[in-house]
Chains A and B, each alone.
Chain A
Amino acid sequence: DVKVTQSSRYLVKRTGEKVFLECVQDMDHENMFWYRQDPGLGLRLIYFSYDVKMKEKGDIPEGYSVSREKKERFSLILESASTNQTSMYLCASRTTTGNTDTQYFGPGTRLTVL
Chain B
Amino acid sequence: GDSVTQMEGPVTLSEEAFLTINCTYTATGYPSLFWYVQYPGEGLQLLLKATKADDKGSNKGFEATYRKETTSFHLEKGSVQVSDSAVYFCALSDRGKDGNKLVFGAGTILRVKS
Check B44–A50 contact: CB distance below 8 A.
no
CB contact list, B57-114 vs A, under 8 A:
89, 93, 95, 98-102, 104-107
CB contact list, B13-54 vs A, under 8 A:
32, 34, 36, 41-46, 49, 51
Q: What is the total number of residues of chain A having a CB less than 8 Å from a CB of chain B? A: 26
Asked whether any CB of chain B lies closer than 8 Å to the CB of A62, the reply is: no
Q: What is the total number of residues of chain B having a CB less than 8 Å from a CB of chain A? A: 24
Chain A residues near B4: list those with CB within 8 A: 42
Given A42-B105, A45-B101, A50-B99, are A102 and B49 neighbors across the interface (CB < 8 Å)? yes
Check B32–A90 contact: CB distance below 8 A.
no
Chain B residues near A58: list those with CB within 8 A: 101
Check B44–A105 contact: CB distance below 8 A.
yes
Interface on B for A, CB 8 Å cutoff? 4, 32, 34, 36, 41-46, 49, 51, 89, 93, 95, 98-102, 104-107
Asked whether any CB of chain B lies closer than 8 Å to the CB of A12, the reply is: no
Residue of B43, B99, B105, B107 with highest tally of chain A CB at under 10 A: B43
Check A42–B89 contact: CB distance below 8 A.
yes
- CB closest chain-B residue, reference A106: B43
Given A40-B106, A42-B107, A43-B89, are A105 and B101 neighbors across the interface (CB < 8 Å)? no
Chain A residues near B32: list those with CB within 8 A: 101
Contact of B106 among A41, A92, A108 (CB under 8 A): A41
Tell me the minimal C-beta distance from A69 to chain B in angstroms. Answer: 20
Bound-state Cα–Cα, A41 to B104, Å = 9
